[in-house]
Amino acid sequence: MYFMKLKINWEHPRCKHALERMWLRGISHREVKEAIVKGQKIMQRETKLIESIYRYFSVVYDEMVYKKVRKVFPVTVKIRVGE
């Protein structure tokens, strides 16, 4: 079975907002990675970003694939309420 390596780029300038949201909501790097891997994926129409819904939050990110590495650039983290 073939597995693609996942690399989350936290140094990208776009990720600053996601890091701030994670800090405010008490979500760790491990939980974000778990959400990206296991969450339900939805493509946003306007921005073409991917939203991964997992547990009580969702992660919006951009994704690029280079050979055997899947690079992810988190944009924001949202809390899912009332669903």
Please report, for the domain that includes residue 68, its CATH number.
Answer: 3.30.2310
* pLDDT per position as a tens digit, 42-54: 999 998 999 999 9
Residue 59 belongs to what domain range? 5-79
Beta strand segments in the chain, E: 5-8, 40-43, 50-54, 57-66, 69-79
Residue 2 has pLDDT above 80, yes or no: no
- Count: domains in the chain: 1
- 20-35, pLDDT tens digit by residue? 999 999 999 999 999 9
pLDDT of residue 83: 60
Q: How many other C-beta atoms can be found within 10 angstroms of the C-beta atom of residue 77? A: 23
Q: Residue 3: pLDDT band by 50, 70, 90 thresholds?
A: low
Question: Which residue from 42, 18, 40, 39 is spatially nearest to 29, judged by alpha carbons?
Answer: 18
Using 50, 70 and 90 to split pLDDT, how confident is the model at 1? Answer: very low
